[in-house]
C-alpha cells in the first residue's frame, strides 16, 4: 500500500503527482481556519435546509425529538391504556416547532462559526472527522442556545406544544396515573433542536472530509485535498 508522508510517496513522488489529496498539506493556519469556517458555514446552510423542511425532524430518526425523559413513564402508561393520542400530539408539535425554529437558525449558526480560532486550526483539521463541529459547539453552544431559545419558544406557541402538554397532564390527572409532571419544555425543545442541528452539521463535515464531490468550493478543495 502506498503511504504518503510529509507530502512524499515512498518512491519520492509527491502525493499530488499521484492524484492523492493531502488535507491541509503545506497550508498556513489562517488558510486552514478559513477552510474549516467555510466547511462549517456550508454545513450549517445545508443542515438548516434539511431540518426546516416538513418532516425534517419528525421523519428523521436521527434527530426526531421524543417526549422528555420526565414524561416517558407517563407516556408509556397512557399508550398502554389506549389514550396515547395526546402524547403523539405532543411529539408531533415539538418536532414541528423544531422544524419551524430551524428556519431561523442559519444566521446564529453562521455567526457562531467566527468563534473558531486560527490557533486551533491545524489540530481541528488533523482531528476526528467531526472535530470542527465539536469545537464549534464547545466554543459557542451556550451563547447560541441563549440566542436561539426565543425563536424556539415562539415556534412552540405556534405549533401548539403547550396546548398538547396540558392535554397530557389533563389525561394524567383524570386517570390518576402519576404525580403531575414538571418539565422545562422550552429548555428541552431548544436543546433537542440544537442537538439535531449539530448532528446534521457533523454529517456535512464528515461528507466534506471524506467525499471529494462534497468539496464544492476551491477553498474546500485546497484545504481538504484535491480528489
CA distance linking residue 120 with residue 45, whole number of Å:
23
The reply to whether 21 falls in a domain is no
Q: At residue 117, does pLDDT exceed 50?
A: yes
Q: By the 8 A CB rule, do 104 and 151 touch? A: yes
C-alpha pair distances (Å), 14 with each of 17, 31, 221 = 5, 21, 17
Q: At residue 177, does pLDDT exceed 90?
A: no
Q: At residue 7, does pLDDT exceed 90?
A: no
- CA 5 to chain CA centroid, Å, is 34
Q: At what angle do helices 131-159 and 106-113 cross, to 10 degrees?
A: 160
Dihedral of the alpha carbons of 101, 124, 203, 100, in degrees to the nearest 10: 0
The reply to whether 20 falls in a domain is no
> What does the pLDDT look like over 122-142, one tens digit per residue?
999 999 999 999 999 988 888
CA distance linking residue 133 with residue 136, whole number of Å:
5
The reply to whether 211 falls in a domain is yes
pLDDT interval class at 179 (50, 70, 90) = confident
Q: At residue 3, does pLDDT exceed 70?
A: no
| Average pLDDT over all residues of the chain | 86
pLDDT for residue 24: 58
Start-to-end CA distance of the chain, whole Å, equals 18
The reply to whether 15 falls in a domain is no
pLDDT for residue 4: 35
The reply to whether 77 falls in a domain is yes
pLDDT for residue 126: 94
pTM for the whole thing? 0.83
> Residue 138: which domain range?
29-224
Helix, coil or strand: residue 19: coil
Structural domain count of the chain: 1
The reply to whether 217 falls in a domain is yes
Q: By the 8 A CB rule, do 206 and 168 touch? A: no
Q: At residue 50, does pLDDT exceed 50?
A: yes
pLDDT for residue 178: 87
> What does the pLDDT look like over 95-115, one tens digit per residue?
999 999 999 888 888 888 988
- CA 223 to chain CA centroid, Å, is 23
> What DSSP designation does 62 have?
T
Region for residue 6 given its phi and psi (left: phi exceeds 0; alpha: psi -120 to 50; beta: otherwise): left
The reply to whether 219 falls in a domain is yes
The reply to whether 91 falls in a domain is yes
Residue 170: closest CA among 65, 83, 73, 81: 83
Amino acid at each position: 500500500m502506498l503511504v504518503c508522508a510529509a507530502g512524499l510517496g515512498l518512491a519520492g513522488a509527491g502525493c499530488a503527482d499521484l492524484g492523492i489529496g493531502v488535507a491541509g498539506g503545506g497550508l498556513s493556519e489562517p488558510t486552514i481556519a478559513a477552510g474549516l469556517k467555510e466547511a462549517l458555514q456550508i454545513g450549517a446552510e445545508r443542515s438548516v435546509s434539511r431540518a426546516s423542511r416538513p418532516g425534517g425532524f419528525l421523519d428523521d430518526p436521527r434527530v426526531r425529538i421524543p417526549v422528555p425523559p420526565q414524561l416517558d413513564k407517563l407516556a408509556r402508561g397512557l399508550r398502554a391504556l389506549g389514550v396515547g393520542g395526546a402524547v403523539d400530539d405532543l411529539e408531533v408539535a415539538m418536532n414541528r416547532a423544531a422544524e419551524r425554529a430551524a428556519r431561523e437558525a442559519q444566521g446564529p449558526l453562521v455567526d457562531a462559526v467566527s468563534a473558531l480560532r486560527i490557533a486551533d486550526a491545524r489540530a481541528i483539521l488533523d482531528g476526528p472527522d467531526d472535530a470542527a463541529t465539536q469545537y464549534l459547539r464547545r466554543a459557542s453552544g451556550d451563547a447560541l442556545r441563549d440566542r436561539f431559545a426565543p425563536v424556539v419558544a415562539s415556534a412552540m406557541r405556534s405549533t401548539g406544544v403547550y396546548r398538547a402538554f396540558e392535554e397530557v397532564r389533563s389525561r394524567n390527572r383524570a386517570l390518576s396515573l402519576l404525580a403531575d409532571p414538571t418539565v422545562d419544555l422550552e429548555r428541552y425543545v431548544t436543546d433537542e433542536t440544537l442537538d439535531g442541528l449539530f448532528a446534521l452539521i457533523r454529517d456535512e463535515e464528515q461528507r466534506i472530509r471524506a467525499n471529494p464531490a462534497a468539496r464544492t468550493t476551491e477553498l474546500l478543495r485546497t484545504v481538504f485535498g484535491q480528489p
